[in-house]
Amino acid sequence: NVNYTRGQAVEVLYNALKTINKNTGKEMFYSLIDEGAITREAAVKAGFIEDNDTTIEEIKALDFSKVYIKFNENIKLIPSENIIMYAHGKEADKIECSLASLDGNELVLYAPNRGSKNFYDIKLLNVEDEDGNITSEILGIFAGYELKIDDVEADYFRINRIEAINEKSIKVLFTHPVNVNSEIPEFYKIYEDDRLFTGGNSDDITVRANSQSDGVILTLNKKVFSENGIYTLKIDGDLTSAYGVKLNDGANDSMRFVSSPYAAEPFALLEIIPFDSKTLLLNFNKEINPFLASQIFNFYLTKEDGTPIKIEKTMPDEVISEDGNMLFINIEGTFVKRGKYILTINNLSDVSRREYITEKSYPFTADYGSSNELIVDYVYARDNKTVEVHFSTRPDINTVSIANYYTIRGDGHSYTAIPEKVFYDANTDPHLVKLYLPDGKSLTKNKDYYLTIDNRMKDFIGNNIVRNSKEYFGGTSDSFRAPVIEDAVTISSDAIKLTFDREIALDAPNILTSNYVMEYSISGIQYKKVPLSVIYINAKTVILKFDYLVDDDISFIIKYNKLKDYSGAEGIQGEAEVRHGTR
């Protein structure tokens, strides 16, 4: 066809330039660009090249030191000076990063990061794709890396989790309560990449049970952890819990953890908080030694002119925070509103007993508000001889158990009773008190009663209960019932934990080995075992120790002769099936 129109001629030329060059594998017009016959800009303007911006399709942290970025197209190498990283929204706080690798449209950067709650920005400048298109700026946002280490929940004695504190300390929490038996440094070793990093002796590490008695604080004496390093803690199976059983049934236990990026600061008082007109709350940067925190003579209070103020009580806080880093100071009398005072700490250590604050004074202003008053939330008749009282806040352990502080009267009928015994255990329920009524003073269904409490009753920091309070409740005809076993579970190859549905007395027969027998059968033959010892843990928990327990596929029954409740009332024989505990 020799009669081409202008449009047809243009179409033929366009298709020819778009034809793939067999030698280069690229379209023909790229050869013209390479030879300088046309410019790249002219090819873009003519529509031969689509000039799309390079964008990020995916960005994520691979670990604590690398970040992966996937683009919508292949790109060329990016100079390190064109890579800028900083904490999200804080461009002035730059974080050093550099190129690790590039494979087509997948880029990996060396970029330190930590924790899924921390976000980072990466800005890439003058990014060039394979076709030579340049995108002046690309911004990506990603969350830091989080090493997924699941908490261990088990009936056996195991490591529950490890929390990094700073460059020298970690907190190790267990599935059982612990005591001073856990403070043996030889039981703890820390490994880095399968190589021993530290531990195994008292020169390398210090181990102290924490204030909650559910774990230990482990502190390095000579070394520091690397920032965001990954380590493995291995603990000897001879470590014994407060239940008297060995860690992981004596088979050792281990768990990985990520070290903290924070420096180890000296033990210090962070702030003095005037809690109310009689009370100070001290906040420290580390968990405190609860024994020293409870000693009045370790603290000294004066007015600005040096006049001493009598301290009535000091105690570690278990209400505001569970971290063990706070304590209360309660004074005789009251502070003057916005008055100037000076607190001197004579002697106080952190929980590891490695750092001390000694004879250091802190001025403060008593700019206090009002704390919550101790009131009764509700009163409930559990049965016709047991009344439960629920307080709005934690009561003082010394006054809450005084029986004659409680009086129950009939509302519209003749009845007056003072409890025979009072039960309170802050570890079980810090707000709950149980009143056990004497014989002959049972409550009656369809009759109303009210409880009054002596105003000498105090809350946990020493403030008195609201005066002249009455709390009404209804009676019941439900009879008193002796305790029964609520749960029985194996916690090692030689121990069973019993949990009762109500409080038992620290008395015979509850603590006698002869009160319990374990029964099981193998191949039709019946066996019985009496425990070697009974460990009373608290009013609702005891541990039965045996020489050994047979395999997990054998069913056990625990039988008991009788149980005595906290008030002294005894029940009758009973039994419970034992479940095999999780390891």
pLDDT in tens, 436-466: 999 899 999 999 999 999 988 988 888 888 8
Q: What is the CA radius of gyration of the chain?
A: 36
Residue percentage of the chain with pLDDT more than 90: 67
Please report the pLDDT score of residue 113 as a whole number.
87
Contact 243, 497 (CB under 8 A): yes
pLDDT given at position 4 = 64
pLDDT score recorded for residue 369: 80
Residue 535: what pLDDT?
A: 96
Instruction: Determine the Cα–Cα distance for residues 30 and 49; give it in Å rounded to an integer.
Output: 10
Q: Look over the chain and give the mean of its residue pLDDT values, rounded to a whole number.
A: 90
Q: Is the peptide bond before 509 cis (omega within 30 degrees of 0)?
A: yes
* Range name among 37-41, 301-305, 349-353 with the lowest pLDDT average: 37-41
Which class for 95: exposed (0-12), middle (13-18), buried (19 or more C-beta within 10 A)? middle
The DSSP 8-state label assigned to residue 503 in this structure reads -
List the one residue out of 439, 462, 464, 463 whose CA is nearest residue 454: 464
Going by C-alpha positions, the residue among 323, 325, 349, 352 that lies closest to residue 218 is 352
Count of Cβ atoms closer than 10 Å to residue 136 Cβ? 9
- CB–CB of 217/169 below 8 Å? yes
Residues 6 or more apart whose Cβ sits within 8 Å of residue 13 = none
Q: What is the pLDDT of residue 150?
A: 87
Domain annotation for the chain: domains and CATH numbers: 6-45 (no CATH), 56-143 (2.60.40.1220), 159-258 (2.60.40.1220), 269-365 (2.60.40.1220), 376-474 (2.60.40.1220), 485-578 (2.60.40.1220)
Smallest CA-to-CA distance from 428 within 504, 372, 371 is with: 504
* pLDDT tens sequence across 308-354: 999 998 988 877 777 889 999 999 999 999 999 999 999 999 988 88
Please compute the mean of the pLDDT values over residues 74-81 and round it to a whole number: 91
Residues 6+ apart with CB under 8 A from 71: 54, 55, 56, 57, 105, 106, 107, 127
pLDDT at 374 over 60: yes
Write the single-letter amino acid at 523.
S
What average pLDDT does the segment 535-552 reach?
A: 91
**Among 503, 581, 571, 574, residue whose Cα is nearest residue 538:** 503
Nearest partner of 188 among 251, 250, 252, 130, judged by Cα: 252
Query: What per-residue confidence (pLDDT) applies to 49?
Result: 66
Rounded to whole angstroms, the Cα distance separating 261 from 149 reads 18
The residue behind tokens 């291995």 is 234
Write the pLDDT tens digit of every residue in 495-518.
Answer: 999 999 999 999 999 999 999 999
Give yes or no for residue 469 having a pLDDT over 80: no
236/184 Cα distance (integer angstroms): 10
pLDDT, position 472: 94
CA 495/CA 532 separation, integer angstroms: 10
Question: pLDDT tens for residues 100-111?
Answer: 999 999 999 999
pLDDT bracket for residue 386 (50, 70, 90): very high
